[in-house]
């Protein structure tokens, strides 16, 4: 986990941000679009995996409720936070790996691998605590990445 050296990091902020993303994951897994939308700011931006852009927590919640009762019905989101960086006392960027899968009755979905990445910008709002201000989701294309690293080794990121 990386933290910006410019500002002191409080363990309680890290814990609260983790809880926020866990709350959004739990809302997804329950199929609760309203609760999912409440994890976002009123002017948030959500760029979905397919490239759709939603604005504001209410719209994000409304659209996801439709998805949860449609083709995302019964899906569960797996999420692993890989990095949290603070940019001042009230802003952080969080990188996650995740997957969405459908479970069998009475069984939890077991994603083959966490093949999606998401970058969240979270902000501390006065009176509301930490909320998601923006999220961008993308698919991790391992084969393309491996080819790129083999053909141009200088494109490989530095491991931390």
DSSP secondary structure of the chain: ----TTSPPPHHHHHHHHHHHHHHHHHHHHT-HHHHHHTEEEEEEEE-TTS-EEESHHHHHHHHHHHHHTTTTTEEEEEEEEEEEESSTTEEEEEEEEEEEEPPTTS----SS--EEEEEEEEEETTTEEEEEEEEEEE--HHHHHHHHHH-GGGSPPP-
Per residue of the chain (160 residues), give pLDDT as tens.
455 444 455 788 999 999 999 999 999 999 999 999 999 999 999 998 888 999 999 999 999 999 999 989 999 999 999 999 999 999 999 999 998 888 644 455 455 577 899 999 999 998 889 999 999 998 766 667 677 767 777 667 676 5
Predicted confidence at residue 101, as pLDDT, reads: 87
Burial class (CB in 10 A: 0-12, 13-18, 19+), 158: exposed
The label of the residue with tokens 């294309």 reads 141
Confidence at residue 102, expressed as pLDDT on a 0 to 100 scale: 83
Please tell me the distance from the alpha carbon of residue 154 to that of residue 106, in angstroms, as a whole number.
47
For residue 160 the two structure tokens come to 């931390």
Q: What is the pLDDT of residue 6?
A: 45
pLDDT of residue 128: 83
pTM of the model as a whole:
0.81
Give residue 145's pLDDT: 62
Q: Where are the domains of the chain?
A: 11-155
In this structure, CATH architecture of domain 11-155 = Roll (3.10)
């Amino acid at each position: 986990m990386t933290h910006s050296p410019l500002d002191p990091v409080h363990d309680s902020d890290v814990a609260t941000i983790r809880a926020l993303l866990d709350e959004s994951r739990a809302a997804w897994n329950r199929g609760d679009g309203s609760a999912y939308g409440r994890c976002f700011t009123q002017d948030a931006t959500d760029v979905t995996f397919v490239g759709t852009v939603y604005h504001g927590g209410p719209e994000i919640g409304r659209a996801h409720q439709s998805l949860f009762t449609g083709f995302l019905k019964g899906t569960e989101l797996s999420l692993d936070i890989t990095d949290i960086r603070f940019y001042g006392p009230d802003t952080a960027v969080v990188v996650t790996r995740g997957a969405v899968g459908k479970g069998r009755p009475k069984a939890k979905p077991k994603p083959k691998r966490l093949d999606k990445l998401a970058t969240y910008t979270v902000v501390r709002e006065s009176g509301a605590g930490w909320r998601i201000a923006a999220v961008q989701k993308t698919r991790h294309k391992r084969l393309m990445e491996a080819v790129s690293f083999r053909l141009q080794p200088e494109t490989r990121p530095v491991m931390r």
